[in-house]
A and B are shown apart, each in its own frame.
Chain A
C-alpha cells in the first residue's frame, strides 16, 4: 500500500529564508509525486509534480522538489520565503498499485515571519 509521511506539522521561517518541507513516501512501484498548496477556505492547488524523467522539478511561485528514489523522499524547497507563501502544503502520491488513487500526507502548515 502506498503512504505519505510529512515531517513536521508546522514550520516557521523568516521572510527571505530558505523553505524546506519534508516528504517521504512508500510505494512498491515508481510513483507519481505531487505537492499541493491550500490557502485558507480554499481547495488544494497543484504546486508541482514528478512523473518520470528529471528528478528535480520546478513548480509555481519559485518552489521546487527533488525526487530521491534511494531515500524515498520528495522534499519541497524555496530559496527565499515570501509572506504570501504562508499556507498549508500537502505531499501526495499516486501509483498504479493503488488503483491510481491519490493519497495525501497530513500536511505542513508554513508560517512566514516578517
Chain B
C-alpha cells in the first residue's frame, strides 16, 4: 500500500481564496482524521470520520472550514474564504478498527495564506 496520500504538498494562496486539501486513506481503514499543526497550538484534531460519516467536528475552528468524505477512499478539507491565520500544516491520518488505534499519517499539506 502507498500509505496515506495527501495533496497538494504545498499551497500558497491569497487571503479570501478557497482552498481544498485532499486525502486518500489506506485501503481498508475505516477511520479518517484531519489534524492541523502550528507552532503555537501544536497538533489539533479538526474532525474525524468513521465509515465515511463525520463523528466529531468539534475541532473545526469556524464555519469557513468544512470536510467531506464522499466515499471510503477520498476526503477533502475545504477552507472558504481563507485567512492568514489558517496558515499551517494539515495532516490526514487513517486507521483500522482492528488496528489497536494506531494512526498512519500522510506527509501533510503545508498551507500558506498571504
Contacts and interface: CB of A to CB of B under 8 A. Distances in A.
Contacts of B55: 99, 101
B45 A101 contact: yes
A49 B4 CA distance: 20
B43 A107 contact: yes
Interface stretch (A20-28, A39-47, A70-78, A79-87): A39-47
Contacts of B107: 41-43
Interface string B26-39: 00000101010000
Interface string A39-76: 00111111001010000000000000000000000000
A22 B71 CA distance: 39
Majority secondary structure of chain B interface residues (helix, strand, loop or mixed): strand
Given A32-B101, A44-B103, A51-B100, A102 B33 contact: yes
Contacts of A105: 42
A89 interface: no
B33 A101 contact: yes
Contacts of B91: 43-44
Given A42-B107, A43-B108, A104 B43 contact: yes
Interface residues of A, number: 22
Given A34-B102, A46-B102, A103 B42 contact: no
B42 A107 contact: yes
A44 B103 CA distance: 9
A46 B107 CA distance: 14
Given A43-B107, A44-B91, A102 B42 contact: no
B56 interface: yes
B93 to A, nearest CB: 8
A112 B42 CA distance: 22
Contacts of A90: 43
A100 B33 CA distance: 11
Given A99-B55, A101-B48, A102-B33, A46 B103 contact: yes
Interface of A: 32, 34, 36, 41-46, 49, 51, 90, 94, 99-107
